[in-house]
Structure 1
């Protein structure tokens, strides 16, 4: 058939180069049409059969073959192989058409092989994520590094096919281009090294909550790639951090807090020193009505009475209960009996050094959840109660004077209630 087409072109066209060009175009067109026919036949028959078999099996990993289009790309390889055989058979006598078609088919063959290897890498990545604790290793960065090497080697083979040179010629020249390659691939190389260090030391994983002030980042890690780490901040923005920055700069990882099952509550109540006093009989009787500290008050009063009634020198200073001390005990007992406080973790109610505003009474405890919304609700409820309970102990929280604290008395003189 090709000889007949060639004779018709030679008889019809006056120029040999024009007839050769049209003949080459005809050969390429024949291959394209044949490729479409082979692809449609294999897609409508063989591919559908393979997919149906995969869906009927009880295995799960074979579904990944369909997801990553392994079968599709293998059929492309079959199509190119059949075209190569067809080209050698049909265009055997036409060297120019045969060579051009062979070059194009070789390029397609290389691209299909790269596509199959790329799909196999994706398949391996998906299988890796099905392994328990696989998130500890940032496999995505390794996958991207392997793909970068694959594409580089594929580019060399494509050049060798176009220029009809051995791949060894291009590979031997890589030594002289080492400095240029290091400059071009500086970020991927640094990112790969940083990713290996981060995974080896288990510093960060997808899903971790990290803070990095140098990059104004505070949120959850959503992706770890070869060159960047993506963080979804609490305001729903996305921060992209170079991988090497996680090695050169400091950052805070809250993963251990999330794994511990409790989140720290650390806040102080500033108590006005003017409200401190010893407990009188009336206030003691009132506080005994509080179940959490009733037993404590009875034990302390017995201990104090015993101490004060002992015979001793006249300079002995008698002991008394203070409202701040009893309130501190109340806070401790309240937290111990609170159902949303983690009793297995540190629980402290302590008095800090006095300041110009008053005496800080610090609450140091842990909630029984790490959920941010629930944690904030627990913390708010705790201090809502404690601030309100202070009135029962005749204590006042410090607050800077405002306009309401200034008022006129009956004599029109200014009185300041601090």
Structure 2
């Protein structure tokens, strides 16, 4: 019986090793791999954080992904704690919190009392790995019921550690190149795109994006902070910098023309799997213009916000200064119908008042002209 159990454990361990090496190249597999490791340890989940001089990335198993996102979004990683202790110690194995801090003192730490414990993340274990060329990788299992339970998982984790170290070294290098490869592919397709980090720094951009903005964008030489002359786009970048997030994405009319047409910037938050592909937890910026050979007469207003033709006509009339009643008469609909269309426009643009809508879109009428 004992021999059969040992054989089963060996098979389970080999399965973990195979999965780890598979994720070294196919980095999209890491969430499932981390989930398997966490289950073996009796933990809620596991995560990888990779830090380099110009970026920070993380991947978590599905069960704790939202908690981990909140941890970084709320800035708890900046308060000091396990990561700092692991980096300072350089211990060639997994450690638990109570290896460094007494359990009573640990409970008094704000990150523990105000975030980790309320989210059910009481005990955990982690280890530091050297990446390529300047990456530091930390893998942690999170949400063990007690610190003793986390400590009991250390022997298993230490057995996995050599395999994890080799795989994470390769995976960090793969991730660091994936964002460049995707942007290059977009450039070949004629798409102008850039990525900024959640603190507003330049992460990557392709040649199409550089050409579109020419002198309309600058990158600070030391901080790498990204600044745009376009006030609306810069305001969105400042929002990302101050809050670390851009909920739901954003489409912004720009004060520039691209390929002879008024342009818009689609800002897409990089979360979940997209974060792995672009090697950043920030925002993807993609330029779009009203020019479209497949849709003659396409206008920027519909392009940006996916308005129906009736909604676009109503919005153009409001931009001309007409009241909602006058716009309804112009287009042969009732005022009630026009108000319903305007409500839909509000929902699609994220703007809640007619005056704000006009102010936001004013000055861009050349791109909004009727076909």
TM range (shorter): under 0.3
**Bigger helix share:** 1
Larger Rg: 1
TM-score, normalised via structure 1 length: 0.22
